[in-house]
Structure 1
Amino acid sequence: MATETNHDAAGESTDDPVFIEGEGHLETVVDEHDVVLADFYADWCGPCQMLEPVLERLADETEAVIAKIDVDANQQLAGAYGVRGVPTLALFADGEQVEQHTGALPADRLRSLIEGYTAE
């Protein structure tokens, strides 16, 4: 039984969250995909951990790519996006940042945000 997996140009699966390794990597992911939901998180953050399974499901069930950015490992990148608390979620559509929210949002709200920017 074969399952179809979506991949980006770098060969990464887009049905799972993509872990970002710096500003250039985030720019590449945003440029290659129509809709990207970037999760600025920290391993020590309780709400971030609660959001993890929600984001994994959204990566699998929606057209959006979920990008995970560890703020401790990517402090400059987090600062460039004005991240002052975690989790912070930034939504990119067609290469541009269109939304940013601080705090864990419910799954249905995140799905609505994503679907508002994905092509019908």
Structure 2
Amino acid sequence: MSQAATEPIHVKDKDHFEELIAANSVVLVDYYADWCGPCKMLAPTVEELAAETDAAVLKVDIDELQELAGEKGIRSVPTIEFYHNGEAADRVVGVQDKADLQAALDELSG
């Protein structure tokens, strides 16, 4: 198990994404775009979760990584995806409450 980062990890490409999913038991992925207002609202929450939890927190810029976003079926942003032991576990769309995201992470960590 890799050392949890204290800030979100910006995914560079599909290989990087897959390595990070494989290396961490619990992962939160924030699919976002720079032009997306709700994404900007969610960003501080995602940063806090990265600092406060053991989960790996990834940020995927859907404009930069269109192919990956397409493969994952991301239709709107922000979309948060949860992974547990390399498998997609849950997905929520839109701005989320920090407590709800924390609860989902706790459930996967449990």
TM-score under structure 2 normalisation? 0.95
Q: Which has the higher contact order (CA 8 A, sep 6+)?
A: 2
Misfit runs of 4+, over 4 Å:
none
Q: Which residue of 2 aligns with 1:52?
A: 43
Alpha-carbon separation, structure 1, partners of 2:14 and 2:93: 20
Unaligned runs of at least 5 residues, structure 1: 1-6
Matches within 5 A, 1:1-120: 8=3, 14-119=5-110
Code of the residue aligned with 2:101 in structure 1: it is L
State the alpha-carbon separation in 2 of the partners of residues 44 and 23 from structure 1: 22
Structure number with bigger Rg? 1
The percentage of counterpart residues that share the same residue type is: 37
Instruction: Give structure 2 stretches of 5+ with no counterpart.
Output: none
Structure with more helix by fraction: 2
Give me the whole-angstrom Cα distance separating, in 1, the residues matched to 2:41 and 2:99.
15
Aligned length: 109
Task: Give the TM-score taking structure 1 as reference length.
Answer: 0.87
